[in-house]
Amino acid sequence: MPTTANKKPNVQIVSDAETIARTCLQMLIDAVREAISSRGVFHLAISGGHTPKRFFELVATDPDSLSLPWEKIHLFWVDERCVPSDSPYSNYKLAADGFLGKVPIPKENVHRIPTEHKDFSTAAQNYEQTIRSVFNLKPGQLPEFDLIILGMGADGHTASLFPNCYACFDTDSIATVVYLLDQKLPDELLNRITLTHPVLCAARRLIILVSGQEKAEILKKVLDTPADDVSFPIHLLWPAIEQTVWLVDSPAAKLL
């Protein structure tokens, strides 16, 4: 298992995807309460995909979640496909359908990636400027999210940082465009905007959700292989190993 400064990844194995969602919810609630008590504001970045869907449903219905001071929570997205915000492939739409209309978060606190721009670079730059403004960053500073919730793909990617992707090497931007060259899919499903790995690693806490037996093989490879962030971009998070928790269900952990 790759280590950083003699630290091993903090892998918490739970029974099933439902338990992942409920554990993640409790971690969110605890993190919000701590941040509001200490700093008066909470900055959250979320991802899309199948695994967080149940988590979003719980955010929308759990009494402790609904009673959080949502007016002090700022919501961002880790990454997004360059599709309209009402597209079924939109990470924003997944969250909007799951919980945004059901929690009392002010509209001005919801900072989606502006994929309506035809120029993807402009979209990434505008998103970066939004982050800089909300966090009141000086030139050269990185945002320090209180919590970032991520997943892991079957190829070892996280966010939209894919193997052999230029975005993996972008250390100067906060947000960057991802161009993928798989011609088997329509272009609008391939081009993306993502937070860069220095931003992910600067977070106070990261949660990586991994569920399903289809993730078992890649999870074993990622945890057993020496750090190789070209082949397995999720290894780019190893500098943040101490503030990262892996929530893994039993089917995904069956080979560990």
SS3 string, 149-193, reads EEECCCCCCECCECCCCHHHHCCCCCEEEECCCCCCCCHHHCCEE
CATH topology of domain 10-249: Rossmann fold (3.40.50)
Band (6; pLDDT cuts 50, 70, 90): low
Mind listing the pLDDT tens digit for each residue in 133-142?
Answer: 999 999 999 9
Domain ranges of the chain: 10-249
Q: 239 to each of 6, 99, 195, 228, how far by Cα in Å?
A: 12, 32, 16, 13
pLDDT at position 116? 82
Work out the average pLDDT over 115-142: 94
pLDDT at position 122? 94
Token match 């190993």: residue? Answer: 241
Instruction: Single out the residue of 181, 252, 179 nearest to residue 222, CA to CA.
Output: 252
Residue 13, pLDDT above cutoff 90? yes
Residue 7, pLDDT above cutoff 90? no
Q: Are 45 and 145 in contact (CB under 8 A)?
A: yes
Residue 182, pLDDT above cutoff 80? no
pLDDT at position 166? 87
Band (26; pLDDT cuts 50, 70, 90): very high
Work out the average pLDDT over 142-156: 96
